[in-house]
Amino acid sequence: AVRILCAVLLRRHLVRGWMKLSSTAQSIVMETLLGTLKLQPPKGIEASGTKLGECTAALAAFLIESSDEEGGLLGAWPELAWAAVEAAEAKKSVGLDLVYRLAPHLDEPSGSLRTGIAEALRNQLNMNSIVDMDKARRATRALGAVLKYWDSPNIYQDPPPGCIEALIFGAIDFPCSINLPEKNHEIEVVLRSGLEALIEVAEWRPETLRSVASSLVERCTHLAVSCGRRDVAGLSLEVVATFAEVAPGMFRKSQGSKPLPILGVEACLHLLCQTHDAERTPEMCQAWLQTETDDRDESAALIADDDEKESYFALRDLGAEVLDRLCRALGPKATLPVAADGVRQLIATASSDPANSWPQGRAAFTALIQMAESFWDLELQGAGDVVPFFVRKAQPKKTSLSKKKKKTKKRNNPQSLDSRISERALDITETCLAFAARYPIAQVRREAMDALAQSATDMSPALAQACHAIVLPTACEILRNEVSPRCKVAAARVLLTFLDDLGLKQISVDHLQTIAQALSDAIVPASSPHCVRGVAVMALAALASAIGDSSEGNEIARTLYSVFGATLKKLVASRQTESALRARSLECLALLGSAAGVHLFRSDATELAQLVTKEYLDDNHRRPEDDAERPAAMRCVVRLAKTLGADFEPFLHTVLPALLSSAEAPKTALYEEDEDDDISAFDQGNEVVVRTEALEEQEMACQLVRLLAEALADGFGPYVEQSLVRIGPVCSNSVAEEVRIRAVTAVPQLVKCAALTGDQAKSQRACAIGIGALLTALETEDDNETRLAILQALRHTIEDGTRIWIGIPLNHDPLRVESTLECFPLLINTSVNPAIISNALLATERAMIQRRAIRLAEAAIDVDYDEERELQDKASSRFEVQGHFLIADALGSLLRTHGAIALCAILEESGWPSRLRDMAQPACIEDDRCFAAYVLADLFDYGLYMPSDNGQHQRKVSIADLAVILRAEPLELLLLVAESQGSAGRRQAAIFGLGRAALRCGFEALAHCLPRILTLLINNLRGKSTRLEENDEEQVDDDDFEDDDDYDNSTVADNAASALYYIIRAHPASLKEDCTAWNIWLDYLPLLADAEEADVCARGLCSAILEQAIPQTLIPQAVAAIARIHIALEQGGYCGTTATDRPSATSSDNRLKRSQAVKPPLITNLTTAIQALQTRQPHEVQLAFTQLPNHLQATLHRLSSSSEGS
pLDDT tens digits, 93-119: 777 888 888 888 777 666 778 888 888
Give the model's pLDDT for residue 1029.
47
Half-sphere exposure of 118 (CA within 13 A, CB side): 25
Bond from prior residue into 461 cis (ω within 30 degrees of 0): yes
* 282: CB partners within 8 A, 6+ apart: none
Distance between CA atoms of residues 519 and 236, nearest Å: 46
For the chain, percent of residues with pLDDT exceeding 70: 82
Query: For the purposes of burial, counting CB atoms within 10 Å of the CB of 832, is it exposed (0-12), middle (13-18) or buried (19 or more)?
Result: buried
Which segment, 190-204, 902-916, 1180-1194, is predicted with the most confidence on average?
A: 190-204
Distance between CA atoms of residues 712 and 648, nearest Å: 8
Distance between CA atoms of residues 45 and 4, nearest Å: 8
Q: Are 1155 and 1147 in contact (CB under 8 A)?
A: no
Average pLDDT, the chain: 81
pLDDT-based confidence at residue 509 (cuts at 50, 70, 90): confident
Distance between CA atoms of residues 845 and 1156, nearest Å: 35
Distance between CA atoms of residues 32 and 42, nearest Å: 17
φ/ψ (deg, to 5) at 420: -65, -45
Please report, for the chain, how many H helices and E strands are present, in that order. 54, 4
Give the model's pLDDT for residue 268.
94
Distance between CA atoms of residues 698 and 692, nearest Å: 10
Q: Following DSSP, what letter does each residue of 842-898 receive, concatenated? A: HHHHHHHHHHHHHHHHHHHH-TT--HHHHHHHHHHHHHHHHHHHHHHHHHHHHHHHH
Mean pLDDT computed over 576-589? 86
pLDDT in tens, 312-364: 567 888 999 999 999 999 989 899 999 999 999 999 999 999 988 999 999 99
Report how far apart the first and last C-alpha atoms of the chain are (Å, whole number): 104
pLDDT at 967 over 60: yes
pLDDT in tens, 349-403: 999 999 889 999 999 999 999 999 898 888 887 777 888 888 876 555 544 333 3
* 32: CB partners within 8 A, 6+ apart: none
pLDDT at 1190 over 80: yes
pLDDT in tens, 898-940: 888 888 888 877 789 999 999 999 989 888 999 999 999 999 8
Give the model's pLDDT for residue 1142.
41
Give the model's pLDDT for residue 818.
57
Half-sphere exposure of 541 (CA within 13 A, CB side): 22
pLDDT-based confidence at residue 666 (cuts at 50, 70, 90): low
Task: Name the residue among 834, 816, 824, 947 with its Cα closest to residue 886.
Answer: 816
pLDDT-based confidence at residue 1032 (cuts at 50, 70, 90): very low
Mean pLDDT computed over 834-854? 92
